Structures are given as structure tokens and as C-alpha cells.
Structure 1
């Protein structure tokens, strides 16, 4: 395989394997102690991804949610650290990963809306990415021709579908739905349904799989929450931007990236206009 094709395949492989590790952690620990389950899942998936990338892409930088100094107290042994900021910010290739997106859902028996994110940023843009949905048996992944979804029946092309006329299903947080999204729903000239879904990766995947029509979020996220899903969304023909319409920019010194909009391009103008109209409700 070419180097480019191999990056897509590697993202899918790593996300899928980390997902299987997490499924094993669920089976091993059970659901009685949610904190133990969350911490063990986070750290095992993180350590796998850090070791695999160090072996397979030793010259690339890594930014992982669990590689930050602020999470060093999760276990007796501090997690493997991210590439130092001064090195990462000068690197041409940076892997941006979330070893477990949706820890709350992961720790709740029967919930399927959690994910693993693996994305590659190169010289200013996302070039490869994979979102594994282990409990759903699916991995959404970029490829040179666009995007695909890998499941138990094989590999299928992935292309965002246009919403039905007069209807808009918007994915929102099941625990912290932004108040402004409710106001947005009331202003749109469509029948709007707010659909609670767990992790950011699961929400964006739901847009790409046609289960909802849009994901609108504001009020707190980081690069690892959206990098891989946005990479796949763009490859699948979706609109993906900040909620003011500007580009979502990655590999920054401050990894906070607090808001995102993902939808079919036909809905983007309507949603961005509606968001602007209720902007007084947005958090500072």
C-alpha cells in the first residue's frame, strides 16, 4: 500500500483494536464500579495507542486526551505522556486521539454510544481518521476515495445523506444539551427533533449514518473530541465547521475547540443563520 493509503488503514486498525480492548475491559471489570471501569478503559486504550503509534509511526507526534499531565493521577503509574508541545507544534504529522470518547456511556451497561477516535493531522489539515463504535460493531474511516463504514458484513461506501424536506433531527448531549440548541430548534422553519446521544463521536457518526441530520454543540470540547469524526465527516461529504462557520483548526497550543457543527451541506446555511440569530444565548 502507498503511504497515504496506509495512514487510513492504520487509523482504522488502531481505532478498531482499541475498541476491542475496551470491550474486554467491560467484560473483565463489569459495571459495579463505574469509576474503576472508566479509568481502566481510558488508560488501557491510551497505552495501546501510544505504544502502537510509537512502533508504527515513530517520527510522528501524538496528542491524546489521556496523555496530558492533568490526568497523571488516574493510576499508580502515570500514563505515557504526549509529545511535548514545543515538538508537536513544529511537527508536520500529528496523531490526535481520544482513547475513549464517552466514558459515561462506556460505564453504563447496555449503552452503545461511545467511541474511539484516531486522526492524523498533516501540515495544517486532517488527512486521515477513524471512529470506532465498538459496541455497535462499526468503524467509520477515511480512505483515498472518500469514506467507508466497516462492519460485520464488510465494507460499504459512506456518504452523508440529505435530510427529508421539512424535518431536521439534531443530535444533542444526553446529559448536557446546550440551551441554545433548544432555542435554535424553535426558530427553524422545519419540524425539529432533538435526539439525545452520548459521545461526540457517536453523534457525528449518527449524522453520517443517516440516523440524525445534524450535530450542533457549544460550550466545551477539545481537539481530540472532534478531530477523527470531523476527518471522516469531511471525507463523507458533510459540512463540518465551528458554529460561526469558520474552519475547525487543529494542532494548536491550546487544544480547546469548544464548538462544532456537522450536517449535510444543504442544511449548513440554515443552521448557521439560526445559530447566529440565537447567539445571545451562547456561553461566554
Structure 2
């Protein structure tokens, strides 16, 4: 975790410097959204720092071609250099983050989510709890779904996703999935969910933060999250305190159609 913290803080300075001098923006192939020179610079520096420190670890990152060799590694770095690139481009300093995680045999063991513009650094190591800027954080223990504060995009509330009426919850949104999970870990929101397929690099770090803060984190059907898959997509994510999480799953339709397209980048 100490290695991830040091790396996250260093690349935070890189991202802010790129933003200050003006971003170079291009579009990814296949409609996967924009990428900036900051995304690429952050990815390059993280690869340099982390692989130098742990040369025997595999690597999975949004901004680097996937290498199947990672599947043979016990430990793997799973990285999103900038989660919430569109918000980063737009100048919304509350909604983008660096997301860094280490997995061992498919399970996240250490994680950092850093919002450099807010100087908010969330960190967790498995079995050691979660912190925000060094102070312990806890997810809420709210049990009732009605009125709960949810972080989710509008399509998640489509009636087709639910058994019976759509729950009457307080709807909120943040572009970065890593930040949504961190906000549940912090207890600022009661739950987050995304019901479409989700890339591992968007989820890995925030999932451990939420778990170590006392939340239950699963895929959309209640299944466990496993990482470093050959195709690194998860079947959605639901995170909340145990009682609320159970209520959410009891209301979601497990047979609702999945989006047939890969998830678009935030």
C-alpha cells in the first residue's frame, strides 16, 4: 500500500501539471471515448515506478495494450491512470481519480484511489481497514432502501432492471466508478451500483476500499468479484452495507438483459 500511495501522489502532480498547461485530446478507436496526454503520461510513469519496484508482477491498465502474460502471474497491478477522463477534460475537479490496485490470485490485496485536485487519498490493505488521508472510514449501516442515497447513472433506474416498482431512493451521480466506491466506503453515500459490464480497472481499487470499510461488494447478481480475468469485464457492481445490499439484490431482476456492448469509458 505504501508503494501505491507514493506512486499515486507523484502522478497526481503530473496530471495537474498537464491540465494547467492545456490538454492534448484524441479519440480512442471503436468509440471508446477520449484520451489525453495526461492519461498516457500518468500510465507511463506508474508503469515505470511500479514495475521497477515489483518486476515480478503482471500488469493490466486501461491505457496500455493488454498482455496475456499477466494471467500467469500471482500478483498483478490493475490500474486506471485517470478514471473519469471526460470530467477531467471538462474541468470538474471533484470527479476524476487515479485508481491503483494489486491483486493476488484474483483477489485485491492493496488499493489506492487518489483525487489530486481535492487532495483526497483513499487507501486500504486487505484485513487492515480503509482510510481517507490517514483517518479510518466506515460505510453506513442503513438498512432501508427507501430514501437511501444512491450513486448510479440514470440507466440503472430503468424499470426493466427491477422486480416491481423502481425504489424511491435519493439519486446522485459521479463519473468515476472508483470515486463512487470510495464515497460508499467513506459513508457519504449509502450505496452505489452499475448494472452494465464494467472494466476491472474501474472497480478493483474501490471495491477493496468499500469492503474494508464494512460494505458488501458483489456483481449485479450477488456473485463475488474476481479479477485478472482473460477478458477483464465484471458483471456490474453493487456496493452497500450488508442489510441494504441484500435489499438491493432482492429488488433487482437477475434476468434483466445485459448491455451487449462493452462499457463506454467515463
Provide the aligned C-alpha RMSD in A: 2.4
How far apart are residue 135 of structure 1 and its match? 1.9
| TM-score of the aligned structures, taking structure 1 as reference length | 0.81
User: Could you list the per-position Cα deviations for residues 197-230 of structure 1 after superposition, in whole angstroms to 9, with x for gaps in the alignment?
Assistant: 1110121122122222111102232110100111
| TM-score of the aligned structures, taking structure 2 as reference length | 0.86
User: Could you list the per-position Cα deviations for residues 29-49 of structure 1 after superposition, in whole angstroms to 9, with x for gaps in the alignment?
Assistant: 16xx65499421110110011
**Alpha carbons of structure 1 residues 27 and 92: separation in structure 2 relative to 1, 3 Å:** same
* Residue aligning to 1:172: 152
Distance across 1 between alignment mates of 2:49 and 2:112: 15
Distance across 1 between alignment mates of 2:59 and 2:185: 26
1:93 correspondence with 2:93: no
* Residue aligning to 1:283: 259
**Alpha carbons of structure 1 residues 183 and 258: separation in structure 2 relative to 1, 3 Å:** closer
Distance across 2 between alignment mates of 1:103 and 1:185: 34
Alpha-carbon contact 2:157-2:166 (below 8 Å) kept? no
Alpha-carbon contact 2:82-2:97 (below 8 Å) kept? yes
Unaligned runs of 5+ in 2: 28-33, 261-266
Alpha-carbon contact 2:182-2:206 (below 8 Å) kept? yes
1:145 correspondence with 2:122: no
* Residue aligning to 1:255: 232
User: Could you list the per-position Cα deviations for residues 245-273 of structure 1 after superposition, in whole angstroms to 9, with x for gaps in the alignment?
Assistant: 00111011111224101111121110001
Higher helix fraction (1 or 2): 1
Distance across 1 between alignment mates of 2:206 and 2:160: 24
* Residue aligning to 1:274: 251
From 27, 41, 50, give the equivalent of 1:44.
41
* Residue aligning to 1:136: 118
**Alpha carbons of structure 1 residues 207 and 127: separation in structure 2 relative to 1, 3 Å:** same
From 55, 59, 65, give the equivalent of 1:58.
55
Alpha-carbon contact 1:179-1:281 (below 8 Å) kept? no
Alpha-carbon contact 1:130-1:139 (below 8 Å) kept? yes
Q: How many residues align?
A: 252
How far apart are residue 21 of structure 1 and its match? 1.4
* Residue aligning to 1:74: none
Alpha-carbon contact 1:223-1:257 (below 8 Å) kept? yes
